[in-house]
Amino acid sequence: MKAENPVTTASDARSQPDGARPDLSNANIREDLAGQGRCALVHLPTGRTCLLPLRHHGPCEFHRPQEADDVAAGR
């Protein structure tokens, strides 16, 4: 049995800012909400944002951009 391990290189790894979460590399993060300890994951197809705490359990809960703005503004 021949096991072929494709060589994975970091050649396509884009330089990420400090604090980037590799597990979310294919998603967008609202930095203003992330700075408030929120998950802040943006569901790109809908533009909705997860307002749950960072590293919350379970799936993300996406809210409308207006709600996210309210949270970001501390309202």
Which residues would be at the binding site for Zn ion (CB under 5 A)? 39, 41, 50, 52, 60
Phi-psi region of 52 (alpha: psi -120 to 50; beta: other; left: phi over 0): beta
The residue among 38, 73, 35, 40 whose CA lies nearest residue 53 is: 38
By beta-carbon proximity to Zn ion, the closer residue of 52 and 68 is: 52
By beta-carbon proximity to Zn ion, the closer residue of 16 and 37 is: 37
What minimum distance in Å lies between the beta carbon of 11 and Zn ion? 30
By beta-carbon proximity to Zn ion, the closer residue of 50 and 72 is: 50
